[in-house]
Amino acid sequence: MDASSWTVVLICAILWTICRFKNFCRSMLLALRLPGPPAWPIIGNILHVTNTKAQFALADNVGKFAPFARVWMFLLPTILVYQPDHLRVILSSTKVAEKNFFYQLLQTFIGNGIITSTGDEWRKNRKLLQPMFQLGPIERYFEQFARTSEAVFRRLQTQKHWQITGIVNSCVVSILHKTILGVDLGPKDDTPFRKGQLLIIKRILKPWLLLDSVFQMSEMSRNEAKHKHDLHLYVRKVLVDRKAKLPDTNGKKCFLDNLMELEANGDLSEEDVVNEAVTFMLAGQDSVATGVATCLFYLAKHQEEQRRVHEEIEAILRDSDSQALKLEHVKKMYYLEQCVKETLRLAPSVPLIARVVVKDVTLDGFTIPTGTNIFVSPYATHHLPQIFSDPFKFNPDRFSVDNIKKIHPFGYLPFSIGPRNCIGYKFAYLEMKTMVATILRNYHLQLRHEKDELKLSYRISLRAKGGIWLNVQSRILLQEE
């Protein structure tokens, strides 16, 4: 080929590259115009992933990066959206933004359930599962919430010091086995849902492992695949056993029973049933356990608020014919619910939501191109002073009947918001309220040291770093004294 022919080939190659990566280039140009935290060459802000202090510093001061912040994930430009008006645009419709590739990385751990699926498959399954998480069906689980909570926490009556995170997690795992799988689980029973480690963070830190072909050759992949196999095998055995025995549910079906009906009707395959059961077992574990443990810490730290919750519980039970905790009791515990909501404002269990823009979106004069990755930080939004005055203070009265009306509809999103919000949020709220009510009815909580502070670790879900230790006194023994 002569020089002119090579020139034509080169021009064609350049034009093809520009067309193929046009939106990526537009995202790069936008990111270069936006403010954001200092970034390293090539690796960008990736070290924030392992630096909890840096993550909280960014979230706590995100308002100085207006109208939104730029974050580099290696050379991948990502936009951190935190203003409620912008979140309304991004999260209110799946026609604007969808889940991005980060959720695909979860498939190697939990399978292709409602959390990781997209498109028509997600829409179909979401529609099928939504009725199971309306308030009526959810309230049928209350008896299991109350019974399991009472059994777990009664066993600890003589202990004066609790590592509350481990205790609460054990209770949540037992509740999930009964309500999701219909299996009674003792404190020492073996289950793969007590084990395992999500490796997505480690994959992000080693970008070559984001390529499935490379990841599948790693020891990390083999460990994750084994745990996924154990989870799915465990659920499949429960499913086979439940089908064989066809238990008399007496109208009180577990989640798996409902999935079995969908399979029998041809709406779901057996593989779908297993995937969804595993998904809800995992999704309902860390988020609720962290929320309950954190709420108990705040109430131990804020004795006046704890007193108000306990007085509310006692007043409701005093006016009841039954001293056993019942659904109608918990539904009347409005101040307790305010405390749970304020806890999830200060420490949302899921601190980061990832999306990808599926069409050009204009926010405050900036056009975010199709294909741009978006981060949403509920933690950052929940700490905006223009939405919540004195945002670092524990103040449950923010969620009183009068004050809650003043909160921007997209200013509070502990379970995300919009069509892709957490389908099980009503389940989580009722479960959390029941567990906290059971504990505070029976125990008075104090910090081990007056100046103890909550140390959170910023990962896929917020965790209490090092656990939470509380001093506990039985209220029965206190009355006897």
Residues making up the binding site for heme: 422
Maximum CA extent, the chain: 100
Q: Where is 12: in which H helix or E strand? A: helix 3-20
Distance CA 62, CA 48 (A): 14
**SS3 assignment for 383-413:** CCCCCCCCCCCCCHHHHCCCHHHHCCCCCCC
Closest of 383, 384, 462, 378 to residue 413, by C-alpha: 378
Residues 6+ apart with CB under 8 A from 181: 235, 238, 254, 255, 256, 277, 281
Using DSSP bridges, classify how beta strands 443-447 and 469-474 pair: parallel, antiparallel or unpaired.
antiparallel
C-alpha dihedral sign at 313, 318, 324, 327 = negative
Closest of 53, 350, 102 to residue 203, by C-alpha: 102
CA dihedral 421, 426, 427, 428 (to 10 degrees): 70
Tokens of 52: 């909890």
Which residues are documented as binding site? 422
